[in-house]
Structures are given as structure tokens and as C-alpha cells.
Structure 1
Amino acid sequence: MTALVRAAALTNFSEVAQELGHDPAAALRKAGLRAALIRQPDQLIEAERVARLLEDAAHSTGCESFGLRVAARRQLSNFGIVSLLLMHQPTLRQVLLTLIEHLHLLNEQLAIQVEDVGKLVILREELLVAIEARQSIELAIGVLYRMGEALLGERWQPVGVSFTHEAPASLGFHRGFFKCRIEFDGSFNGLVCRAADLDVANPAADPVLADYARKMIEALPDDRQRAIDQEVRKAIYLMLPAGRATCKSVAQGLGMSVRTLQRELDGKSLNFKQLINEVRHELAPRYVANNRHSLGEVAAMLGYGSHSAFTRWFGIQFGCSPEAWRGGQSGVRKRKPLARP
């Protein structure tokens, strides 16, 4: 099943493209999309087309902050009917949990996880696409950051933001957008916040309106059932870099027993080991391509306890060692500084 995203994901794309001297209509046609389509926010379009469109726009304009510039213009209302439900949750933590519950209505390729680590909370965010999607990742994390601003105002003070990709040639726009520490070449994509900030009461919350919005959402036709294999893949994407992508942990995260999860996967002629391998196969080229990660770090990010085990797996999957692959790809994958900051 082709993963879909609401056309609202491209809200403000045209405005940002025009400001940077790019023809949005031509860019959309090249991506196989119609300009009229993105003016219908609830229209569903292929998630991978959106990712390619944003990458192409960043390259064509020479602007490495393209996705973040689109996020800077976003409003909570861009989530459609889900926005009404989000605005009236009692705390930001509950907003995030509610957003996760309804992600399948917004973007089937987006995965978010709320992880408590002592007095801090890590908001992990990943996109399940097989292509390089730096702009989409920055757009998604930027929108999440804007959501916190919209709900908490000046009380929204994240500790930091992390990206697994390398830093842009110019950090000016990123520093102006994220008013916190920014880490590139990190071990995960997402935000780090204080747990106390997520549990501050939302003074605008109205339980009556929240209940009304939930009933409206429940009444929506939903003929695209949430596939268990896609939900498991999302969980693996989020848990793998932290070394927690076990069958037990994933089952718990999905609110089911290990036996139930295995039975669900058996019904699709799948198994957990197979899905782990598929996710590793998608992530490994991205991680290995980044020279700032040692191959030992890459092995750990893919859930391997030793470099040798990772090397054996990589050789089977890609026909060479990770060292050879990195060396052979360095010439074509090395980032060239773009013309515009």
C-alpha cells in the first residue's frame, strides 16, 4: 500500500519557493503533482512525492533550510479537524499523545515517540522513506517545535534539537528558528524537552470541545486500515538507534502482547526479524554515508553489539564492507556547499 500524506503537508510551499526565486508550479509538475491539488488540504498524496519535491526545491534554490522555512509559516490549524482536538488537550504531553494516535490521518510515513528520561523527555521523530529526506525531517521537527510555541508561548523552552544529518553550510536560519541548542550528526531526529514543561496545564483547553472534535474524527470515513507491519516499522525506526528495538519493547509500545504481535505478523506472512532487517537496510546507507559517524557508531545505531557483526550483515546486504562502501560513495555523496544560505 502506497503511504499517503495530507496535501496540507505542502502548505506554504509555493510562497517559500517564490521568495527563493523558484517556480512552484513547475516544481509541482516535475513531482507529478498539480498546483490545484495542494490547495485542497485534506486531499491525500503520495508521501514520497512530497519528500522528493522538497529535496529538489532545496537543491534548485540553493537553500538548505527550505523545509524549515516552510515549517516557520505553519499554524496549528494546518492539522485540519485534528487541530481542534489538539488545541483542547489539557497538557502538551496529552497533545503529543493525541497527535500520535491520529498520525495515520495526517502522514502515514511519520512516526513520533515520547520517551521519558529522568527529568527530560525525548520527542523522537522519523520518516519512513527510502530516499534521503533531510528537508522533510526538518519540516516535521519544525512543525512540532511550532506546535509547542503555539500552545505554551514563552513557556516553551526545549533543551535542544537533534538531527542525524550533517549541518548546513550556513546555520543562520536554524539558529533563528530554534531558540535552543542544535545538534547535527546526532543519534536521533527530534527534540529534547523538560518533562515539567510537557505537563504544564493548557489554559485554553476545553474538554467539551475536545470531546466534540473526537466524535467528529471518529465519524470520518477511514477505509485505509492501519497496517500492523507499518506500525511495527515505525516503532523500529524510533527504537533502533536507542538499542531498544526488541519484539517485546515494540509490542509494549503498540499496546499488545508479544504473542498477539507475532500472530498479527504471521497473518501477513511476516516476522519481526524480517522487519528489523528491512529497516536496517533502509537506514544503513544513510548512516554509513555520513563520515562524521564512525562505523562503530553506525553499528550501534543499527542495533548491533559489535562492529564485526554489523560488517558481516552489511556485506551480505550490499555486497561489500561498510568501509569499502563509504570509500566508494564518498566522491558522489560528499555534500557541495550550496550557493544560498
Structure 2
Amino acid sequence: MTALMRSASLTHYADLAESVGLVPHEMLAAVGLSRTCFDSTELRIPAASVMRLMELSGEMSGEESFGLRLSVTRRLSSFGVVGMLARDEPTLRQALDTLTRYLYLHNESLTTRIHEYGEVTVIEQLFLPSVGAGRQSVELALGALYHTLCLALGKEWQPRSVSFMHPPPAHLSWHRSILGSNLLFSQDYNGIALSTSDMDAPLHFADPAMRQQTRQLVRDDLSATAMSFRDEVEQLITALLPTGRCSAEQVALQLGVDRRTVHRRLSVQGTTFIQLLSEIREEQAQRLMAFGDRRLTDIAGLLGFSSLSAFSRWRAGRSEAK
């Protein structure tokens, strides 16, 4: 199933593209997108095409921070109805819960997970491996999250850290000017760490009366679109792999069903849990190895293997199958 996202993701793309010497309509054509994407924010377009557009833009312009620079234009309104709902929640925690719950209405390929570790909370972002999200797409998404947090916590707020799985760029000037100095690269996740106390900060712009009206207005939108069961399983596999606890049983537990239901519903959609697990591992392995700065033992752990030898046997088996 093709993961889709709103064409609002291309807002201000043309302006930035032109500023770095690109021709916006030609860039759209190169990835198979119509120029009508610039005329409406509500078109549903393939997420993989948008990811490729971002990477190609960075490559052809020579601007390593293309995605990050585009993120500066992002606001809660960029998320459409999801942003409308989050904007009037009383606290940052509730706003993030709303964004996390309904993010698929804006972008089916991206999911957000919140992990609390005592005084530190990590907001992690994960893309479906099938869409091929690279440096530009990751930095666009994390930059948008950073600006959302700044909107809630004030312009002077700084995160404990902003972590990227990819290596650092040759020059960090844009990253430091936009995200501050607490930057970490070649990490095990893409996300932002903040103080847990920040999570309960009140949103000064929240309007309880407006929240009720908005929920009523968008109720049909929220119920009309839902993620496929396969997409939900893919997102859970991606999230659980680094923990070493990725199994059909764990996925079933997260979904609130039993293991047989997982197998049965995936079968209806023409796939199996093992097939999805292998596909995601292969896509993740290719991406992590392409970074060029990871040891195989580290990659093995991120893919849920207990040892390098188990990872090597799996790779050998995949090669023979091809």
C-alpha cells in the first residue's frame, strides 16, 4: 500500500528551491509529481516521491541543509486539521499526544513516539522504511518538531539534545543557527530530548472553547481516514527493532489483539509478519550501511539481532534467496 501525505508538505518549497538555483516545476516532474501540488495543500501525494524530491533538491543544489532550511517555515497550521486540534490543547503533553495520535492524517509515512526516562523525555520520529526518507526528509521533520516545541515553550527554550541517525554535514552553520548547539549525529534514533517538566507546560494560546468547536468540525475527517493494519504493523516493527523485542507477540500486545489476529489480518492484505520484518530489516540495513560510519555490530543491534553472527547469517540467507 502506498503511503500518502498532504501536499501541504511542499508549502514554501518553490521559494527555497529557486533561492538555491533550482527550477521548482522541473524538480516536481523529476520525481513524478504534478505542478498542481503547488496550487493546493490538500492533495494526497505519494510520500516516497516527496522524500525523493527533498533528497534530489539537496543533491542538485549542493545545499546540505535544504530540508532543515525548509522546516523554518513550518507552523502548527502546516499540519492541517491535526495542527488545529493540537493548537488548543491545554498542555504541551496533550498537544503532542494529539499530534502523535492523528499524524497519519497529515503524513502516513511518519510516526512519533514519546519516551519518558525520569527527568528526560525523548520525542522520537520514525519513517516507514519503504518511503526512503534520507537526510533532508529527516531534518525537515525534526526541524518542524523543533519549531512546534519552541512555539509552545518560548523562543528562548533549548532542547537537551537534537539527535540524528545520519552523520554530520560538512558545515554546521545552518544547523546551529536553527536548532542551537546541542546537536548529536550518528545516533541510534532521530528525535529531540527535553526536560520532562516541559511536557506539562501550559499552552498560552490554547482556547478550550475553540477546541470543542474544532473537534466537532473535524470529527468526520478524523473518522474518514485511517491507517491500514499493515501500516500500523510496519510502524511498530520499525519502532521495536532496536529494542531486540520485535516479535509478532509484541506487535499484537501493542495493538491490543492476539498473535493469531495479527497473522490473519496481514494475510488478508497479502503479506505475513515474517515477510514485513525481513523487508524492513533489509531496507534499514541498506540505509544504515550507506551512512558509512556505522560498525556492523552496531547495525546488527539496531536491526534486532542478538549478535553480529546472527546478522551475518541473515544477510547471507537474503543474498542466496535473491
> How far is 1:299 from its partner?
0.4
Q: Secondary structure at the match of 1:114?
A: strand
2:318 equivalent in structure 1: 317
Quick check: 1:156–1:197 contact (8 Å CA) kept in 2?
A: no
Quick check: 2:105–2:225 contact (8 Å CA) kept in 1?
A: no
2:95 alignment partner AA: V
1:339 equivalent in structure 2: none
2:20 equivalent in structure 1: 20
Quick check: 2:13–2:70 contact (8 Å CA) kept in 1?
A: yes
2:30 equivalent in structure 1: 30
1:54 equivalent in structure 2: 54
Quick check: 2:122–2:192 contact (8 Å CA) kept in 1?
A: yes
> How far is 1:41 from its partner?
0.7
2:148 equivalent in structure 1: 147
1:197 equivalent in structure 2: 198
> How far is 1:102 from its partner?
1.1
> How far is 1:156 from its partner?
3.5
Q: Secondary structure at the match of 2:35?
A: coil
Say how many residue pairs are matched.
320
1:214 equivalent in structure 2: 215
1:10 alignment partner AA: L
Deviates more, 1:282-291 or 1:53-62: 282-291
Distance 1:248 1:91 in 2: 34
Quick check: 1:5–1:45 contact (8 Å CA) kept in 2?
A: yes
> How far is 1:69 from its partner?
0.5
Quick check: 1:76–1:147 contact (8 Å CA) kept in 2?
A: yes
> How far is 1:132 from its partner?
5.2
2:101 alignment partner AA: E
> How far is 1:275 from its partner?
2.1
Q: Secondary structure at the match of 2:53?
A: helix
Q: Secondary structure at the match of 1:121?
A: strand
1:293 equivalent in structure 2: 294
Instruction: Tell me how large the CA RMSD over aligned residues is.
Output: 2.1
1:283 equivalent in structure 2: 284
The percentage of aligned residue pairs carrying the same residue is 36
2:9 equivalent in structure 1: 9
> How far is 1:186 from its partner?
0.9
Is 1:163 the counterpart of 2:164? The answer is yes
Distance 2:31 2:290 in 1: 25
Give CA deviations for 1:156-182 in whole Å, capped at 9, x if unaligned: 431111111111111110111112411
Pair 1:317–1:138, CA change in 2 (3 A): same
Quick check: 1:188–1:241 contact (8 Å CA) kept in 2?
A: no
Gaps of at least 5 residues in structure 1 are 321-341
Pair 1:68–1:97, CA change in 2 (3 A): same
> How far is 1:273 from its partner?
2.9
Q: Secondary structure at the match of 1:169?
A: coil
TM-score using structure 2 length? 0.92
Gaps of at least 5 residues in structure 2 are none
Give CA deviations for 1:161-207 in whole Å, capped at 9, x if unaligned: 11111111111101111124111111111111111111112232222
> How far is 1:248 from its partner?
4.1
> How far is 1:230 from its partner?
0.6
2:293 alignment partner AA: R
Pair 1:5–1:181, CA change in 2 (3 A): same
Distance 1:7 1:263 in 2: 34
1:250 equivalent in structure 2: 251
1:11 alignment partner AA: T
Quick check: 2:5–2:107 contact (8 Å CA) kept in 1?
A: yes
Quick check: 1:155–1:197 contact (8 Å CA) kept in 2?
A: no
Equivalent runs, 1:128-139 vs 2, <5 Å: 128-130=128-130, 131=132, 133-139=134-140
Pair 1:214–1:257, CA change in 2 (3 A): farther
Q: Secondary structure at the match of 1:115?
A: strand
1:207 alignment partner AA: P
Distance 1:55 1:220 in 2: 31
Q: Secondary structure at the match of 1:122?
A: strand
1:330 equivalent in structure 2: none
> How far is 1:274 from its partner?
2.8
> How far is 1:224 from its partner?
4.9
1:284 alignment partner AA: A
Give CA deviations for 1:10-66 in whole Å, capped at 9, x if unaligned: 111111111112111221122222333223111111111111111111011100100
> How far is 1:243 from its partner?
2.9
Structure 1 runs of 4+ aligned residues shifted over 6 Å read none
